Structures are given as C-alpha cells and as structure tokens.
Structure 1
Amino acid sequence: MSTKSAHLFRISVEKIDGPADYAGTSAPLAFEVESHDDILAIVDRVRAGMAFTADEASALALGVKLLGGVVLTHRRDPLFADIQPALRGFIGNLKSRVASTASQGQWKESS
C-alpha cells in the first residue's frame, strides 16, 4: 500500500528476442515497488550524467535503486551485511559523478 509521501511504480520486463525458455514460453514479469524517490527522475539524471548508452544508464539507475530499496528494507538481514558498505560507497560515487557532470555542463544526449 502506498504512503502519502511515496511514489508507486510498476516495473515490467518483457522478453523481446532470444530463445524460448525451458517451458517454451516467456511470460512478461511485472511487479510494483514503492519508493520515497521519483525513480524516473533518477533514471533521467543518470542518463544525462553518464557516458553510457541511454539503455545502459537506465539499467544501472533502475538496478541500483531497486537493489538499494530491498537492502534498506531488510538492512538487519545477515544476507545483506557484506554488500551494505560497498553499496553505500558505490551510490555515493555514482551521485558524485552524475552531479559533477551536470555542474560541468557535460550533459550527455540520450540515445
């Protein structure tokens, strides 16, 4: 259930090419995720601030945001003990790089 200050997103993954899976079908995957951040705005900033293709930057931003959300929600779970410090550092570095690129006026055109 969505809280007043949260954004609610539907994430969809659909196979568009490649061999069929073992059952001969590739049903799309869709799920909802709640975030205190606007994930689409984050994706836009990363796409604009990284020297990656638009698809790579989108996948990076979305993947990190989704992983970070699960890690934060389950921060006391021992499964995530090793990744928490590294993920915090990585996210900090990513934010710094995106901000640095933005402040230098080196916004990458989306492709």
Structure 2
Amino acid sequence: MKGNLYKFTIEHLEDAKGNDLEANPLVFETKNHDDIFKIVEQMEGKMQLDNQDTKALLIGLKLFSEVMLKNKDSKPFKELLPHFKNFMKELKKK
C-alpha cells in the first residue's frame, strides 16, 4: 500500500485515579494516504476544541478512516462509510 509511513508511540502515564504508571509503551507503524502533520497544522484553531483535543480527534479519525477504507466491504464499516463520508465533508468545511 502506498502512503505516508508513521510510527506511533503511546505511553500510559497515569491511571484513572491519577497514579503514575510505569508501563511499556505501545509502539506501532502504519501507513496513511494523507499527510497527518499537514492536516493537524491546517485544522489547529479552526475547531471549537483546544489544541490537544483537536490533535487527538484528527489523529484518531485518520487512523480509523484508513482502516475503514481498507476494510470498506466488511461489517460494520460498510454500513458506517456513507455516514462517515458526510461527517468528514462537514469537518473539512471548517
């Protein structure tokens, strides 16, 4: 698959009670057809979210949408795809 290759590292810093954690990070690589850095840069300040929430939303959407597109004929993605496309169109109007 062609696309931009990304390496994600997610660290669990504290639990729900605020206790510090020492856990191994979750590390994985994945490809995406879009330049995620460019999208985040373009959308910062355009949404009614703070910058941390904007980044989390956009990165989550890009990871999710790439998996959905690769598996678009599988349930539940097949049923969700038309609604997701509409959501993305509205988001891109920002």
**So what's the TM-score if we normalise by structure 2?**
0.84
**2:26 counterpart of 1:45:** no
User: Unaligned stretches of 5+ in structure 2?
Assistant: none
Partners of 2:61 and 2:71 in 1: how far apart?
Answer: 15
* Cα shift at 1:66: 0.7
Q: CA RMSD in A?
A: 2.0
1:95 equivalent in structure 2: 92
Question: Number of matched residues?
Answer: 91
**2:38 counterpart of 1:67:** no
Q: Which has the higher contact order (CA 8 A, sep 6+)?
A: 1
Q: Give aligned-pair identity as a percent.
A: 28
**More displaced stretch, 43-52 vs 63-72:** 43-52
User: Unaligned stretches of 5+ in structure 1?
Assistant: 98-111
2:80 equivalent in structure 1: 83
Partners of 2:76 and 2:22 in 1: how far apart?
Answer: 32
Partners of 2:15 and 2:76 in 1: how far apart?
Answer: 32
Which of 23, 28, 32 in structure 2 is aligned with 1:26?
23
**SS state at 1:58 partner:** helix
**SS state at 1:55 partner:** helix
Pick the structure with greater CA Rg.
Answer: 1
* Cα shift at 1:82: 2.1
